Chains A and B, each alone.
Chain A
Amino acid sequence: MTETGEPTAEPVRGRRGQRRPRPPVTVLGVLGEVLITAGVLVLLFIGWQLWWNDTYVAGEQSKAAADLSNGWIAEELKARDPKEPAQTPADFGDPVVAEAPGAGKAFAVLYVPRFGAEYHRTIAEGVGVSVLNSTRLGIGHYPDTQMPGEVGNFAVAAHRSAYGGGMHLINELRLGDAVYVQTADGYFTYRFRDLEYVAPTAVAVLAPVPGVPDRAATDAILTLTSCNPLYSTAERIIAYGVFESWQPTSAGPPAELAPIIAAQAKG
């Protein structure tokens, strides 16, 4: 910072060793320095929250999701009769609908190829900070909504930015994009249908028929909720998907998901 107003008549430091006259310490000067320091600290915190910690949490959540998925697959392999071949893709009938898990319990892994081949996150029961801000979980299932594959609405929430940013790229989804949900039972394929932007109070998006709370459901819907706009909480962005098919763990993952699962198993 240079002093303005007065022209600098001569170099401040004339001879070697000669000290620059120290400016007097004023209350205003100290106050200014304290305020600048406070400002820098706030900026550092925002940078830490949105990038440093976000990246760290994302990595941890991703690892935890891979462990969960690998565990299910290993368990199925162990339980399978080695003489019996793996089930070949066919119609596996109605999907197995799991019981609602206890609060905080991890019960599914979400894969969205549009978010990147390395994208996999754990879905756990509940949408409190203990799930959404966790380094082990990350995506929360709204407790009163349905389970994967069930007729009605399987609704989940995740952060758009910070805490791993599980839904960072939610606005990039295109019609027909696959959204896979893996559970201990198998793989549930949903197809992305549309985005909606709503107020934070719009709980109707969680209804069995989203937006029409009184109607009885006939379709199985997936609902993803997150913040909008990016780095703001003014609105919520909602992504809907429609259930397409189901296959048990023994049948292996759907074709598009297979390389992702294989890469994840390698670590």
Chain B
Amino acid sequence: MYAALWQILPGPVWLRILILLVLLAGLLLALSTWVFPWVEEIVNNQEATVGGP
């Protein structure tokens, strides 16, 4: 999977690493902006009250 991704990327090694870092940064931003808040609503695992949910 990741080997194939590496093969698809163009250019020399430094450019590939740069592209990967940019992709990774975008992925982290998307995760923390949309995906994680959505997941958090589903798994509310931080109950702090007495007397049940």
Q: Taking beta carbons and an 8 Å cutoff, which residues of A are in contact with B?
A: 22-23, 25, 29-30, 33-34, 41, 44-45, 48-49, 52-53, 127, 129, 132-133, 140, 142, 157-163, 167, 198, 200-203, 205-206, 225-227, 233, 236, 238
Known contacts A23-B3, A34-B1, A48-B31; A227 and B48 CB within 8 A of each other:
yes
* In the complex, per-residue mask of B1-38: 1 if CB is within 8 Å of any chain A CB, else 0: 11110010000000000000000000010011000110
Please state if B39 and A45 are interface contacts (CB–CB under 8 Å). Answer: yes
Please state if B49 and A140 are interface contacts (CB–CB under 8 Å). Answer: yes
Question: Which chain A residues lie closer than 8 Å to B4 at the CB level?
Answer: 25
25 A-B residue contacts at CB 8 Å? Answer: A22-B3, A22-B7, A23-B3, A25-B3, A25-B4, A30-B1, A33-B2, A44-B28, A44-B36, A45-B31, A48-B32, A49-B40, A53-B37, A53-B40, A127-B49, A132-B48, A142-B49, A160-B46, A200-B50, A203-B51, A225-B49, A226-B48, A227-B46, A227-B47, A238-B50
Question: Which chain B residues lie closer than 8 Å to A225 at the CB level?
Answer: 48-50
Please state if A48 and B36 are interface contacts (CB–CB under 8 Å). Answer: yes
Please state if A159 and B48 are interface contacts (CB–CB under 8 Å). Answer: yes
Please state if B52 and A49 are interface contacts (CB–CB under 8 Å). Answer: no
Q: Taking beta carbons and an 8 Å cutoff, which residues of B are in contact with A?
A: 1-4, 7, 28, 31-32, 36-37, 39-40, 44-52
Please state if A206 and B36 are interface contacts (CB–CB under 8 Å). Answer: no
Give the shortest distance, in Å, between A139 (CB) and chain B (any CB): 10
Question: Which chain B residues lie closer than 8 Å to A44 at the CB level?
Answer: 28, 31, 36
Additional A-B contact list (10), CB under 8 Å, known A129-B44, A227-B48: A30-B1, A34-B1, A41-B31, A49-B36, A53-B32, A162-B46, A167-B48, A203-B51, A233-B47, A236-B50
Known contacts A23-B3, A45-B39, A49-B36; A201 and B45 CB within 8 A of each other:
no
Give the shortest distance, in Å, between A51 (CB) and chain B (any CB): 11
Question: Which chain B residues lie closer than 8 Å to A48 at the CB level?
Answer: 31-32, 36
Bound Cα distance from A236 to B52, whole angstroms: 11
Bound Cα distance from A30 to B32, whole angstroms: 26
From B4, B32, B51, name the one whose CB has the most chain A CB atoms within 10 angstroms.
B51
Please state if B31 and A206 are interface contacts (CB–CB under 8 Å). Answer: no
Known contacts A45-B36, A53-B36; A33 and B1 CB within 8 A of each other:
yes
User: Residue of A at shortest CB range from B40?
Assistant: A49
Bound Cα distance from A160 to B3, whole angstroms: 42
User: Residue of B at shortest CB range from A159?
Assistant: B48
Bound Cα distance from A158 to B44, whole angstroms: 14
From A52, A158, A162, A205, name the one whose CB has the most chain B CB atoms within 10 angstroms.
A162
Contact of B50 among A161, A162, A206 (CB under 8 A): A206
